[in-house]
Structure 1
Amino acid sequence: MNEWCKPRTLELGKGSGSWYECELQVALDTTEGKGKKGRNLEVLRIFRATPSVKRG
C-alpha cells in the first residue's frame, strides 16, 4: 500500500474521518492512475475492518 497514507491513518484515526478520505483517494489513484485494482480492494478492506470509520 501507499506509505504516505499510513501515518495519517494512525494520526487521524481517533474520532476523525479525515484519514478515510486519504485512504479513499489512494483507492481511486490505484484504480484510475496505476490501474492496479488488486490494491484498490486492499484499501477498501481497511474501511470495513475499522470501526472508527465515519461515513458521511
Structure 2
Amino acid sequence: MAGGFLCPCHGSTYDLAGRVFKNKPAPQNLDVPPYMFTSATTLVIGKDEKGEA
C-alpha cells in the first residue's frame, strides 16, 4: 500500500503514523515503540539492556 501499511492477516490498513483507517477490523492504532535520535541522521528503535531507547 503506497503511503501506509496493510495487515495481510485481517485486511486492516494504517496511515504512515500507524493510525488505523475507519471501518477496518483492527480495534486500535499501531503501538509506537520506544525510540531516540542519537544524531541528526541516526534513529535507534527499541530498548537496550539498560531499558533506554
The bucket for the TM-score relative to the shorter chain is under 0.3
The structure whose residues are more often strand, as a share, is 2
Structure whose CA Rg is larger: 2
Normalised to the residue count of structure 2, the TM-score between the two structures is 0.22
